[in-house]
Every structure is written in structure tokens, then in C-alpha cells.
Chains A and B, each alone.
Chain A
Amino acid sequence: MAIASETTNAKPTYTKLVSKEGGAEYDLLPLHVCEETFAPLEVAYDYEAIREQVTRESIAAGPKSIWRYKPFLPVSGEVIDVGTGMTPLIKSNRLARRLGLKELYIKNDAVNMPTLSFKDRVVSVALTKAREFGFSTVSCASTGNLANSTAAISAHAGLDCCVFIPADLEIGKVLGTLIYNPTLMAVKGNYDQVNRLCSEVANSYGWGFVNINLRPYYSEGSKTLGFEVAEQLGWQLPDHIVSPLASGSLYTKIQKGFQEFVKTGLVEDKHVRFSGAQAEGCSPISQAFKEGRDFVTPVKPNTVAKSIAIGNPADGAYALDLAHQTNGNIEDVTDAEIIDGIKLLAETEGIFTETAGGTTIAVLKKLVEAGKIDPDETTVAYVTGNGLKTQESVQGYIGEPLAVEPNLESFERAWQRSRTLDRLEWQQVLI
């Protein structure tokens, strides 16, 4: 039996940065772009070294956080562990029955720590790396969740923080950043404009931008959403996953996570289908998929799903490739369907997700109805954020409290009225 790794003394498991186009190699520095092709750089690993260090048992005995998978992550030394990861994988009964699926699971990152979205995974890795590189100020371009996470975890780590968001974000996302007292730049423009500005700032300010110059390290954190699902399914891969698509990074990294578990002998190889979810009002990847293109044409976002409103997705082409290679689908849904998706998940599973999760659930439903997910497939839907952050999106689409006087008669009248409304299948009209 292998011995649990001494993580501080273990042989390094990550070796270099490699260009995704052309294969040029680079040292492990804060770089994110290939000088030859301008393609993204990705961390390469020594899988033999990982195989020597990990077993199912050593992982299971590790911390109850993403750091149980440390040999698969591109960091050395002391990590920032704020309890991120190991979120519940819920076996769905009521939603599964409603949709007609036999084996449906919800990976619930709406309760990820510390800021209630999957972004805590990538930020924990990025800021651990930022500290290794010696950055004293960290930053990001964000649609909201990333700003929350970067602000919170940098506060914990004692790093200075300056984050950039589009000015029109939901109030919960703004407040959920400001409370940690970073410098917050609310840019008058959409996310793609924020992102461009940050790239320009990154050129001349020596900051660690988690999703720009630290992006190769940062994005590796999303693999843990693959690792955890495989471990929580009893060390096996699902048949089909559905995840939201914004930049396309999360979607492709879940697959990288699955593949790495196969390469290191932790799970058996299996053909997993990858399906992606976009909002119709920002669906550049879905449009390309439906038109059979292998390139993504940027769009200007206009959707309630602000957290995934990226009109110019960095990993869009790779997301398209993955959907094609795995016989998956990329689909989009309207804002009304997104709200219904949020409500459906809440009413059937007791999980309140934000608009990105609503998008995923609505696309899951649409794919099942179109016969594109087999009822017998073990399917995992990734819910990546928390509904309390985007309350205004469902305002006016849910019920209202019944006002009652503090006496029995008033209660009984109200109760009768609520029964009547139920019998009439009363629905609030969308305004």
C-alpha cells in the first residue's frame, strides 16, 4: 500500500507551462499567453510522480477541501485552505423524477466556502500561487462571483486587492465584494470591456491578476469539480455532465480532472459526455455549436444571467471541441426559462441557485426533453453559485407572504385562500 504523500517534501508533480497551440514550453512563471501563437498556456504534470504519491486512501485521508488533491494542483509549500471544496453531491430524487431521469446528481457549489460559488476553488489555487510568486497585490476581472472570492480570500491571506466588475452587477454581488474592503472598480461597460481593461492594466502594473497572468494556475482549480464528483460517486466517472459555459474554462477543466484520475489509475476510463449551458442573451458558444462552426464569434451580452455573460469567451473554441469529441451538446435557454430553472431546482431539491445554476437546470431539462440525455445515463448537473446573491432576478416571479393578524381566524382565512390559489394552480403573470 502506498503511503500518504509528505506534501512538503514530495517530488514536484507539475513541471512547466505548455502552449495549447504549437506546444511551445515555458518556465513556471506568471505567464498566460504563448509568445508564438498567443494561445493559452497550460500547466503540464508528471503523472508518474503523481501516481507514486496518491492513492484513493491517501486522498480520502486528506483535508476536507480541494487540497486533498494537492498533487494535482500547481502549487508547492503552504496552501491557503479556507475550507474550499468537498461540497455536497446530492442524489436527486424529485427533480430526477420530474425530468424522467433515473440517476441524476446535483453538485452543489452554491454552498462552496467561503463565498458560495465555485470560484473559491480557482481563487484558492491562484492566491496560493500569487503568494509563491511574491505578489503583494492581487486583482481580477469579474462578473461578480470571482470578485467576491478574490476579495474574501485575499483578505484572509493578507494580500492587497483591487478588483474590477461591470457597473451594472446585482447588488448582492457588489456588497459581497465590498464587505472585505478591497478597492472595487465598477467599470462602465460589459464584462468583455472589463476584461480588456484589466489586460491593459496587467501590462504595466505588477499585480497578480488571478484570471490573466495567473490564469494557467487559477484555471487548474476547476479540475477539483471533476475530482470530487468522481470520488463522491465511489471512484467512478459519470456518463454525462451538464455545466454552465461562460469562458468555457470550467467545462474543459472538469474533463481534465476526469482524465487525470484515469491517467493516475484512480478511476477506470469511461466515455463521459459533456454538455454545456448558456443563456440565449449571451450564447456565442451555443450559436457556434448549432451552426457547426469551430470558432466563436463574439456577441454583446444581454441576459439576466450576468455571472455567465461573457460575450468573448477565452476557451470557447476548446469548449466546442469538447462537446463534439464527447457527443455532448451545447444549448441555450431564455431568461424566462432560467428563472423557471432556478425555481424548479429550489422546489424539487431545496437548493437555491443563482442565474447560472438556473441556466444549467433549464438546459438540463431542455436536453432531456429533446432526447439528448438518456434517462439511463448517470448525469451530474453542476450548480456553481448561490441564489441569495442574485435575488433581484427572481423578484416578482415567486409568491408573496400572506399577511395575517396575530389571531386564529385571520390565519384560517389566509390558509383557505392559499388552498384556493393552489387549487386554481394560480400563477403569477410574468411582467
Chain B
Amino acid sequence: MSVKVLVPTVLQKYTDNQAVLECEGSNVKELVETLEETYPGFKGRLRDEQGKLRRFLNFYVNSEDIRFLDHEKTALNDGDEVSIVPAVAGG
């Protein structure tokens, strides 16, 4: 199952400067684990000291904020698009 991941500029130094990745995972949590395998250090950047996803990062699956879906357990299907976006834009 292949999912497209959009990576924000601040994280691209962990992804060999790639802005778009193809990755595997049946839900968001698994996807993050898979990303960590390919890009060591990536996962650590996403979580704070308590292991929670950082509050200034937003995750979207097919344009929907995962906080309106099933949070980290939000299921992923083949061809889905996951976007990671710093929260501090706009206004």
C-alpha cells in the first residue's frame, strides 16, 4: 500500500531534501514508523519529550486534519496523500 507524503521544508533535511515521498503504512502511526526506518531521525523530530506528536505540527490525510478523523490511528489506503504542515502559518 503506497501513500504519498508531503514533507515541509523544515523536515526536508531528514529526507534528502525531498518534498514528496512514497511510503507504506496502514495508518498514520505506522507510516511514521516506516518513515523512521528509511529516514533515521525523522520520527524523533515529530514527537516531543513525552512521545506525543508535537503541537505545532498538523497532519492531514487527503486534506483532512487527522484531529477530525481518527488521530494517529487514521487508516490509510493506497493512493492516499498525507501532508505534514507546520501549524504556525496564516492569520
Contact = CB atoms under 8 A, between A and B. Distances in A.
Interface in B55-91: 55-58, 60, 63, 65, 67-68, 83, 85-91
A343 to B, nearest CB: 27
B54 interface: yes
B65 A247 contact: no
A295 interface: yes
A295 B91 contact: no
Contacts of B60: 196
Given A203-B19, A204-B19, A191 B9 contact: no
Given A200-B83, A200-B85, A203-B6, A192 B65 contact: yes
Given A203-B6, A300-B68, A248 B91 contact: yes
Given A39-B88, A198-B89, A312-B58, A203 B67 contact: no
A312 B55 CA distance: 12
Contacts of A242: none
A37 B86 CA distance: 10
A212 B89 contact: yes
Contacts, number: 95
B91 A203 contact: no
Interface in A38-72: 38-40
Interface string A1-43: 0000000000000000000010000000000111101111000
- Interface magnitude class on chain A: 35 or more
Interface residues of B, number: 27
A287 interface: no
Contacts of A34: 10, 56
Interface string B1-33: 000001111101100000100000000000000
Contact of B83 (A191, A196, A250, A313): A196
A297 interface: yes
B85 A211 contact: no
A76 interface: no
Contact of B88 (A40, A196, A200, A310): A40
A297 B87 CA distance: 12
A141 B10 contact: no
B54 A37 contact: yes
A32 B89 contact: yes
Interface string A98-139: 000000000000000000000000000000000000000000
Given A215-B89, A312-B87, 14 more contacts: A33-B8, A37-B48, A37-B54, A141-B89, A195-B90, A196-B60, A196-B85, A199-B85, A199-B89, A203-B6, A203-B12, A209-B89, A215-B88, A313-B91
Which 3 interchain pairs have the tightest Cβ spacing? A247-B91, A38-B56, A195-B90
Interface of A: 21, 32-35, 37-40, 141, 189, 191-193, 195-196, 198-200, 202-204, 209, 211-212, 215, 219, 246-250, 295, 297-298, 300, 310, 312-315, 317
